[in-house]
Structures are given as structure tokens and as C-alpha cells.
């Protein structure tokens, strides 16, 4: 059961809940400035969702899992994965940053690097280690030509 709770969308939801709580109960009169923050926040959320959809599409096309704790059947290097090794996690980060802007949760901005650290420690590094063991030279070449984030 704990394995299914420890998933990136659950961590993302928790970070969004913290940002919402800060914006609702502890705004301290701080603000990003209104319309521009809503616009940029919307762009970030939309861009993040697009990245996630593109990545899930590529993984489904390759018939491999999107669940972080499971063993991948294939090393996906096509589509959005030719630009980023972790487009879903990058999308998660963009969604969080965008919602922080939209919620006007100024004090919640440190959640973005905290969330990045959680993603790297709990998901990215273990996933890459599994891929490195399974796909060896192919994964090494992939890492040389494609950055982890952008």
C-alpha cells in the first residue's frame, strides 16, 4: 500500500495543498502582482500538462510502464524523451510553479526546489539506476545526448 502512496502525483498534490493553505491562511499581504502572475501561471500549468501528455503518449506507444517503482520494458528515447529524460517530472514542476503563481502563494515558492529534491531522491535517481542496469550502453548513450531536465 505504501508503494502506491509514494508516487509523484501524490507528492505534487501535497505540495499544491501546502501552497493553497499558505495562500489561504497565511498570505501576509504578499502578492505576485495580479494579471501577469495569472497569465504566466496558466502558461506554466498548461505547458506542464502538455509535457506530461506527450510523455505518457510516448511511453504507451512503446508499451512500457509509467509507474516509477516498476521495471521499464523499453528505453523510450523518442518524441519528448529526445529533449528531456524526465518530461513527466518536469511537467510536475511546471504545474506546481504555475499553481503557486495562480494561487498567489508567495511564501510557497520554496516548495518548488523542495519538490525537485524529493523527485530526484525518491524517483529520478532510482529510476535511472534501474535503467542503467537494464539497458547499460544504450542508457549511457542516451544520457550523453539527452539532459536530465531540459
pLDDT, tens digit (0-9, with 9 covering 90-100), for 62-88: 999 999 989 999 999 999 999 999 999
Range of the domain at 107: 8-23+34-145
1 within some domain: no
In this model, does residue 144 exceed pLDDT 80?
Answer: yes
141 within some domain: yes
- For residue 34, what pLDDT is reported? 84
| Residue written as grid cell 493553505 | 21
What's the structural domain count of the chain?
1
**% of the chain surpassing 70 pLDDT:** 97
In this model, does residue 124 exceed pLDDT 60?
Answer: yes
49 within some domain: yes
Helix (H/G/I), strand (E/B), else coil: 69 = coil
Averaged pLDDT, 45-59: 98
Q: What is the pTM of this model?
A: 0.95
150 within some domain: no
Predicted confidence band at 127 (pLDDT cuts at 50, 70, 90)?
Answer: very high
Averaged pLDDT, 93-103: 97
Distance CA 11, CA 140 (A): 29
- Name the CA dihedral angle for 127, 78, 83, 143, rounded to a multiple of 10 degrees: 50
- For residue 33, what pLDDT is reported? 85
What does pLDDT average to over the chain? 95
2 within some domain: no
DSSP codes, 70-122:
SPPSS---SGGGGT-S-HHHHHHHHHHHHHHHHHT-GGGTTHHHHHHHHHIII
Predicted confidence band at 1 (pLDDT cuts at 50, 70, 90)?
Answer: low
Amino acid at each position: 500500500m505504501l508503494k502506491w502512496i509514494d508516487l509523484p502525483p501524490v507528492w505534487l498534490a501535497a505540495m499544491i495543498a501546502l501552497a493553497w493553505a499558505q495562500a489561504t491562511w497565511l498570505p501576509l499581504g504578499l502578492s505576485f502582482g495580479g494579471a501577469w502572475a495569472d497569465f504566466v501561471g496558466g502558461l506554466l500549468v498548461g505547458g506542464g500538462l502538455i509535457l506530461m501528455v506527450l510523455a505518457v503518449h510516448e511511453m504507451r506507444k512503446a508499451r512500457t510502464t509509467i509507474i516509477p517503482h516498476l521495471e521499464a520494458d523499453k528505453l523510450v528515447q523518442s518524441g519528448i524523451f529526445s529533449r528531456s529524460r524526465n518530461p513527466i517530472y518536469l511537467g510536475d514542476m511546471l504545474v506546481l510553479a504555475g499553481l503557486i503563481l495562480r494561487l498567489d502563494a508567495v511564501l510557497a515558492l520554496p516548495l518548488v526546489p523542495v519538490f525537485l529534491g524529493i523527485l530526484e531522491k525518491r524517483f529520478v535517481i532510482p529510476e535511472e539506476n534501474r535503467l542503467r542496469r537494464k539497458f547499460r550502453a544504450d542508457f549511457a548513450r542516451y544520457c550523453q545526448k539527452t539532459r536530465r531536465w531540459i
